[in-house]
A and B are shown apart, each in its own frame.
Chain A
Amino acid sequence: MSSELSPPVAQILRGEHTPDPASVAQLPPDDSAQLAAIARGESRAALRVKALSCFTGTAEGGELFRAALEDRDADDTVRAAGAILLSRTDGTAETDLLAALPDEPSAVVRHKIVAGLARIGAEQAVPALTDMLDDAPADLRDHVAFARSVVAYRLGRTGFELPGVRPEDVLPAPAPPQPAEVGQADPAPAGTASKVAADVASDNYGLPLDSSPVTTVRCGARTYAVIVNADVFAPYSRLERPAVAGLVASRAPVDGSYHTSMIVLCHPDGASGLHIAVYHPSGPARYVGSGTRSETGIEFELAAVRGPGAVETTITGVCGRDGFTEFAFTTGRALPAKAPTPVEE
């Protein structure tokens, strides 16, 4: 770390993970000003990105993130950080993100802006993203379409349903003699729901986290928290319209923090049927299937979508307003992942 940094600022920037906002708030004024100056204009992008992340959850964050997003002289990693942090901090950042998107030269920053718009879920993003679709570069088009659908599903708007997955792209169910691993689903241990709610608060895609039931699913070394959207089972069910039916948060083994790793989208399919699909927040579909609505809940069955590293999976269950009453998760053979290209030394 640079020698001109004050010790408290150097200490904060050394953190392996984003510091607690309280530790930033407790900095003496001179140190706080130094940290903000780095976040505002440090020429070393890697240091500026770290400084920006220190302002997550602080009052000054919004302005600093906005300035980073708009800084065309900065490295794209700085603008990406601005987009990500702004969308997680300021629920009204869609105007800034929409303004930045058309002329942003960096593909990865455009991806982060689009992901941010999906995260915020503002209605005005729908026409803006629709306008973008025709002109969007090929690498971004699928992500824009996905983001628009996420916003629309969240708002219960029809007309933007995601296309179904082709049958040949759905992996078969795990079958003997392939070794099958059975996931375990349990009611979340005490305190899990509040921790999950706190950890994914800025990635909640509109779910009412305080009232939504949480179930933990363990598969191999991974632990997931499955959050069912309480609104789905409220009176005048949203399942009559497209909806974000739930989220899946994965638990990081190193520190136990939860991160939104999948979004469950569903829309009506016939009189009592449902089309259900589970997506990564960056767009690719991971599981697809169907459900049947009844008075007590939804009975569903999902299978994995073909893709690099995808694993044959069957997920079945029954879900009601208090969470899952039945849940089974079975995995089998994994498809090969993609291979990075070797560098010729």
Chain B
Amino acid sequence: MGWSAWIPMSAPSGGIVGHPASVARSDGITNIYVRGTDNALWQRAYFGVQWHGWGRHGDSMQLTSSPAVASMGIDHEHVFVRGADGHLHQKFWKAASGWSPYFDLGAPPGGFKGSPATVSRNSQVANVYVRGNDDALWQLPWFNSIWHPWARHNDGMVLASDPTAGSMGPNHEHVFVRGTDGNVHHKFWQAGPGWSGYFNLGAPSGGFRGGPSTISRNPQVANVYVRGNDDGLWQLAWYDNSWHPWGRHADGAITAEVALASTSAQREQVFARGLDTNVWQRWWVPRIPTIDVNLISVGRDNFTAANIEQMLNSLTATGQIYCQADFNVGTVRRYVISAADAGALEIIDSAAEAEQLTDGWTVPNAALDVFVVRSMNGADGWSAVGGPCDKNAGGSVMTGTVVSLNGDLGNSGNTFAHEIGHYLGLDHIADADNFIGNNGSSNSNTRILAWQGDLMKKHCMVVHI
């Protein structure tokens, strides 16, 4: 599918200050950290195939920077912040013991500006980088199970932004900074040769604001993202052993540096602060067969912000279920039907009412119409099995699926995947763990079998790029 649409992730009350930080410590767990307007650390977690709500860390730390986060293993995560004392502070989470208190890691002589950056290239090493008050790059390394002294990179580079760091393997680390020329500059470390000199990677046409962000989702790929002076998201990609030209993401406006995470070698997530100071997410997966979706809120006037978020996240969950079978949700376009126009069909009582909805309403394009109601009685969703591509076939078959937000996100995420699966040709199966299994009572389950993906990919609405 390439890039998904931007999906709202809300924010702690009042929005966020600065930019988010994110990490995926395993293929099923992603965490976002932000500095709230109360200067506390806030966290939002993805696990169990759903995003959970924002939670405030109950410690007394007052952040004076955006956080940085990394993981040294699937059961470890650590967060770095600048405190009110100008020092770097670290806390870590382990599966066995939960969150530690904060540890004061001091600061370079002369202090530092902005927010830290961190990376762990393997489970024994962590590095924190900051922009010193002397505008040099400073590094605080962890190895042999202890923190070592702050060290200055005496390479002559004058930083005009916070640094960002990434790793393309257990013996590789690289740092990107903005130079005083307004360009991105890159240096890398390899076991043996050590640090390279800086390479000038240029900048988006029109320049960019703030500093860069980077991630490597596998040893062959690195991406650098910046916020352009046009507030668009710009990307510089390394693959096939070379840097490729800067490219602009066509949609969305961002207001800070982005945070990045990757749950697999073929998945990359971007978290950004939007114009509304909320966090927004988009992700990249390889271009695989996709189903484009028209997401139609029925009785939109009565949808709360939480309803909309649940609706969008349910479609995200659908994509994550389908991705397991190399299939995905493609372009998502949003539509509304007002409560007045929906009338009694704002809440669905039966399959007959669902049919009435799809008979009477159609988006005039080739994508699948997914009608979303806040509530449904008697079932969580209804669909044709092997629905038509001709959406003007009203009267003889449902020409879309009707899904509800019944239950929690786990339920509705499954409902969306389940009903869209029906439309694309799947019947219920007996497998209790399957997303369309247990003879229909599969809600919250996420397993998908390869043949189910293959069958869905044969539907005439599926786009093969």
Question: A: which residues have CB within 8 A of B?
Answer: 1-2, 13-19, 44-47, 49-50, 53, 56, 76-77, 80-81, 84-85, 107-108, 111-112, 115, 139, 143, 181, 203, 219-222, 249-250, 252-255, 257, 259-262, 280-283, 307-311, 313, 331, 334, 336-343, 345
Contact = CB atoms under 8 A, between A and B. Distances in A.
B347 A46 contact: no
Given A16-B381, A50-B406, A309 B361 contact: yes
Leading 4 A-B pairs by shortest Cβ distance: A220-B396, A261-B352, A77-B375, A340-B335
Nearest to A338: B361
Contact of A257 (B342, B351, B360, B418): B351
Given A259-B350, A334-B394, A337-B362, A282 B343 contact: yes
A340 B336 contact: yes
Given A1-B407, A108-B347, A181 B396 contact: yes
B251 A260 contact: no
Contact of B344 (A14, A50, A143, A311): A143
A90 B153 CA distance: 79
Given A16-B379, A107-B340, A254-B385, A334 B392 contact: yes
Given A77-B374, A80-B375, A261-B352, A338 B360 contact: yes
B265 interface: no
Contacts of A261: 350, 352, 355-356
Interface residues of B, number: 75
Contact of A309 (B346, B395, B411): B395
Interface string B385-420: 110100111111111000001111011101100100
Contacts of B395: 219-220, 222, 309-311, 313, 331, 334
Contacts of B287: none
Interface stretch (B88-96, B218-226, B441-449): B441-449
A221 to B, nearest CB: 4
Contacts of B346: 107-108, 111
A259 B361 contact: no
8 contacts: A16-B379, A18-B377, A49-B406, A112-B344, A252-B351, A282-B345, A331-B396, A337-B391
B162 to A, nearest CB: 30
> Which of A14, A49, A250 has most B Cβ within 10 Å?
A14
B386 to A, nearest CB: 8
Interface of B: 5-6, 251, 294, 296, 299, 302, 333-347, 349-353, 355-356, 359-364, 374-375, 377-386, 388, 391-399, 405-408, 410-412, 414-415, 418, 422, 427-428, 440-444
A111 B344 contact: yes
B359 A309 contact: yes
Contact of A342 (B334, B375, B391): B334
B335 A13 contact: no
Given A80-B375, A282-B356, A46 B351 contact: no
A108 B339 contact: yes
Contacts of A16: 379-381, 414-415, 418, 440-443
A76 B302 contact: yes
A80 B382 CA distance: 19
Given A112-B349, A337-B362, A309 B394 contact: yes
Given A50-B411, A80-B375, A336-B364, 15 more contacts: A50-B380, A53-B378, A76-B302, A80-B347, A84-B377, A111-B343, A139-B343, A221-B397, A254-B428, A261-B352, A282-B344, A307-B360, A309-B360, A309-B394, A340-B335
Contact of A341 (B335, B351, B397, B443): B335
A254 B364 CA distance: 25
A44 B441 CA distance: 21
B403 to A, nearest CB: 11
B433 to A, nearest CB: 12
B461 to A, nearest CB: 15
A283 B344 contact: yes
A1 B361 contact: no
A142 B251 CA distance: 44
A108 B299 contact: yes
Contacts of A282: 343-345, 353, 356
Contact of A280 (B356, B394, B406): B356
Nearest to A341: B336
B415 A115 contact: no
Given A254-B385, A255-B440, A337-B362, A46 B405 contact: yes
A143 B340 CA distance: 13
Contacts of A85: 377
A81 to B, nearest CB: 5
A85 to B, nearest CB: 7
A132 B252 CA distance: 49
> Which of A2, A115, A337, A342 has most B Cβ within 10 Å?
A337
Nearest to A78: B375
Given A47-B408, A261-B355, A253 B343 contact: no
Contacts of A336: 362, 364, 392
Contacts of A18: 377-379
Nearest to A138: B340
Contact of A46 (B344, B397, B406, B422): B406
Contacts of B345: 282
Contacts of B6: 345
Contacts of B352: 249-250, 259-262, 280-281
A115 B375 contact: no
B365 to A, nearest CB: 10
B394 A311 contact: yes
A220 B381 contact: no
A143 B379 CA distance: 24
B396 A2 contact: no
B361 A337 contact: yes
Contacts of B360: 307-309, 337-338
B375 A45 contact: yes
Nearest to B380: A16
B422 A254 contact: yes
Contact of A221 (B349, B384, B414): B384
Contacts of A338: 341, 360-362
